Amino acid sequence: MEPKVIKRIGVLTSGGDSPGMNAAIRAAVRAGFYYNIEMYGIYRGYEGMIHNEIKKLDSKNIAHVLERGGTFLKSARSEEFRTPEGRQKAYENLKAHGIDALVVIGGDGSLTGAHLFYKEFGIPAVGLPGTIDNDLSGTDSTIGFDTACNTAIQAIDKIRDTATSHDRLFFVEVMGRDAGFIAINAGIGSAAAAILIPEKKMPIEDLVEKLKVRTKAKKTSNIVIVAEGGKSGGAAEIASKVKKLLPYYDIKVTILGHLQRGGAPSSFDRLLASKLGVAAVEGLLHGKYDVMAGLINHKVVYTPIKKAIVDDKTVDEDDFRVAKILST
């Protein structure tokens, strides 16, 4: 597509925040300044676009944000943006500010919003994959995933200490609504006895059998990782089912929850976010609209948003194999 002349770009973060979003905003804004573009911050995601929470950014706004978790632009999940009336209001506000393109940082819902907006109003947008879940195609890793895995592993290491002292069985629930990426990474990285993820059903009987085998092998403490969207239920549900079948086990449940969404981004996420922030602005300037910028094999790749959100990115079968070998 022949590139439009772009003078003002709006940047927003939307949906669940993820560590590295600030680094991505900073990179996009700095890249914009480099190419003499006026940069605008749209606060509270699409909700702020509808309610006109839009401010011009200068270099002070993005000083010392790269290393901070969360998003200084704030984030929200907007119900109103799902309606044509909400999107119309949002468009009027962008028009009033003379914003001619968008960088949207978020997960599948946020990128779907950018896609719809492009289709309805022709506002060019480049999406960046900002979610701890890693459930977007078109990128090897999403911004925040690496940090979330590190956070989960550090927490599980601590649980391991107390589990060992008391010879206990712990069920640790990690985030990942429909995706087991955090669970499989954190599980392999923390020597879990078993990993339960949404993509694969493990019957309770199989889990119980596995635990019995480990007990016979004199493994007195065990950690089972459960993804929150697991097919057999959450950690609490699975723990109570297992307790019925193995009443002599001393069982505890820990839900890591939103702990995994915060914290300073890892070096991997800082680099990923920085590269993609620049790629978003350069993509817009080169006429790449309605795409998501991602990194595949260390190279920037632009994937149509529709494909990035629809294509099923699944946990690598080989990761399962490795997890199974290491927990037997």
Catalytic residues: 133
Say which residue the tokens 């997890």 belong to. Answer: 323
Find out whether 160 is annotated in a ligand binding site.
yes
47 binds ligand F6P (CB under 6 A): no
Strand residue runs (E) in the chain: 8-13, 38-42, 54-56, 101-106, 125-129, 169-174, 194-196, 222-227, 251-255, 291-296, 299-304
Q: Which of 10, 12, 16, 142 binds ligand F6P (CB under 6 A)?
A: 16
Choices 32-40, 128-136, 204-212, 245-253; region in contact with ligand F6P by CB under 6 A: 128-136
Identify which of residues 99 and 308 has a Cβ nearer to ligand F6P in the complex: 308
Contact 184, 220 (CB under 8 A): no
Choices 47-55, 170-178, 237-245, 307-315; region in contact with ligand F6P by CB under 6 A: 170-178
Report which of 8, 7, 293 is spatially closest to residue 127, judged by C-alpha positions. 293
Q: Which of 20, 106, 138, 176 binds ligand F6P (CB under 6 A)?
A: 176
133 binds ligand F6P (CB under 6 A): yes
Find out whether 30 is annotated in a ligand binding site.
yes
Kindly state the helix (H) or strand (E) to which residue 46 belongs, with its residue range: helix 45-50
Sequence-distant (≥ 6) Cβ neighbours of residue 11 within 8 angstroms: 25, 28, 29, 39, 40, 41, 42, 57, 73, 102, 103, 105
Kindly state the helix (H) or strand (E) to which residue 115 belongs, with its residue range: helix 108-121
Q: Which of 131, 134, 147, 274 binds ligand F6P (CB under 6 A)?
A: 131
Which pair of tokens denotes residue 270? 């800082």
Find out whether 261 is annotated in a ligand binding site.
yes
Q: Which residues bind ligand F6P (CB under 6 A)?
A: 16, 107, 131-133, 175-177, 228, 261
Residues belonging to the binding site are 16, 26-30, 77-78, 107-110, 131-133, 160, 168, 175-177, 219-221, 228, 252, 258-261
Residues belonging to the binding site for Mg(2+) are 108
